[in-house]
């Protein structure tokens, strides 16, 4: 791997329930130091995050849509996406309607995806499957629907699930979508070895919390 450019594979995230301002400030400081490609906060802090990074044009701010279940009304997801676009988010990570996918209500899933994609416009849209809650067949179907709706990335999870993303998840998604979209992994990625194995399997972006990101940077020799 090109270790000096490792931060360009990582979206730093502060998207857990108990995030406080100390965590957000630490994320901004780490992002500025290492020039991570993107940062995510929970929706109520996204405008603050944009303000903190407004002078750092090489660091995107992403918007979290539908966290963590994806079961919000489509209209609510659309409004969130529109607000994020207007505020200046460069990327949107949207949770698929996990329950509808498991119910095989593919029409509902597709409408949800298509309307949020329309609200996102030209912004990069990543669709989160939450693979820990899905069977292999459900992962395949969710990946297909995400790509059909215009997602730039199929993302494995929100980071809220108890089970981690695995290399096998990456391989399954890559086998399903080929080169029609990219893959972002999130959830339980703790080591540089995790990243190396997932890159080899076809993953090109990672969503990682600040504690794990700092530890991975230390492994790579990029952080004291």
Q: Is 32 a catalytic residue?
A: no
Q: Answer yes or no: 155 catalytic.
A: yes
Which of 77, 141, 184, 194 is flagged as catalytic?
184
Alpha-carbon Rg for the chain, nearest whole angstrom, is 16
Answer whether 92's CB lies under 8 Å from 123's CB: yes
Check if 141 is active-site. Answer: no
Do residues 40 and 12 make contact, with C-beta atoms less than 8 angstroms apart?
Answer: yes
Q: Identify the three-state secondary structure at position 218.
A: helix
In the numeric block, the tokens 């996204």 are attached to 46
Catalytic option among 11, 93, 112, 194: 93
- Choosing from 126, 141, 155, 182, the catalytic residue is 155
> Which of 49, 163, 25, 40 has the alpha carbon at shortest distance from 91?
40
Instruction: Write out the two tokens for 206.
Output: 């990672």
- For 159, the token pair is 């980071």
- Show which residues are catalytic: 93, 155, 184
């Amino acid at each position: 791997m090109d270790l000096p450019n490792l931060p360009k594979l990582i979206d730093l995230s502060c998207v857990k329930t108990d995030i406080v301002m100390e965590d957000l400030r630490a994320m901004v400081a780490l992002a500025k130091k290492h020039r991570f490609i993107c940062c995510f906060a929970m929706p109520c802090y996204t405008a603050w995050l944009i303000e903190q990074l407004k002078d750092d044009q090489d660091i995107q701010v992403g918007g979290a849509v539908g966290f963590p279940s994806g079961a919000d009304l489509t209209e609510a997801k659309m409004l969130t996406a529109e607000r994020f676009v207007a505020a200046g988010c460069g990327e949107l990570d949207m949770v698929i309607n996990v329950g509808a996918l498991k119910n095989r209500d593919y029409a509902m899933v597709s409408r949800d995806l298509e309307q949020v994609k329309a609200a996102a416009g030209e912004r990069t849209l990543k669709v989160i499957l939450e693979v820990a809650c899905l069977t292999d067949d459900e992962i395949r179907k969710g990946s297909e629907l995400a790509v059909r709706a215009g997602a730039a990335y199929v993302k494995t999870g929100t980071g809220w699930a108890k089970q981690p993303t695995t290399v096998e998840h990456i391989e399954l998604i890559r086998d399903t979508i080929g080169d029609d979209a990219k893959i972002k992994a999130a959830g339980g990625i703790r080591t540089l070895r995790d990243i190396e194995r997932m890159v080899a399997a076809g993953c090109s972006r990672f969503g990682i919390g600040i504690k794990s990101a700092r530890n991975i940077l230390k492994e790579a020799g990029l952080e004291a």
